[in-house]
Amino acid sequence: MNIAKAILALAALVAVALPSAALSKQQCDDCGIFQKGPQRVIIPANDVVCVYFVQPHRDKALLRLDLKSGKKRHYTKDNADTSDKICVGRHWVRDSASMYLCDTENHATYDATDTGVVSKKARHSRDAEACLFGKVKCKEMGYKTH
């Protein structure tokens, strides 16, 4: 029992020794990271580009960026609408060799040329919009298919 009291007393001394301003700043920093995400602390993403897509019904969508370094970055959108978009930092698209966009049924592949188009287009331009209706239907609708 005496050991437990000694541990509690030591913990109280350590808590008193911490300056309250330092503790408050740490809590504020943690809140900011929680609210804005750690990527905002590490890499600012003011310049974004939106990758537009169409699909036959609401579904989960995933955009995968295949970086030139060999790494991959994934972005998901739950319950994406039939005409929707996923916006990412333009610098990530510039650093990508290719991209892949899919829902639970179909996919669209962006080769190096298509990825370059996306990296240079205006933020909300629908250039290089992906079609997730399947290859035959997308071709009928006038979309580029691979």
How do the domains of the chain map onto residue ranges?
2-41, 48-140
- Topology, domain 48-140: Immunoglobulin-like (2.60.40)
> What percent of the chain is modeled with pLDDT above 90?
66
pTM of the model: 0.69
pLDDT mean across residues, the chain? 80
Residue predicted with more confidence, 120 or 23 = 120
Q: Does the pLDDT of residue 97 top 70, yes or no?
A: yes
| Distance of alpha carbon 90 from alpha carbon 1, whole angstroms | 60
133-to-7, 58, 111, 142 alpha-carbon distances in Å: 64, 12, 19, 12
Separation of CA 76 from chain center:
7
> What percent of the chain is modeled with pLDDT above 70?
69
Strand 48-54 versus strand 130-131 pairing type: parallel
Three-state secondary structure call for residue 115: helix
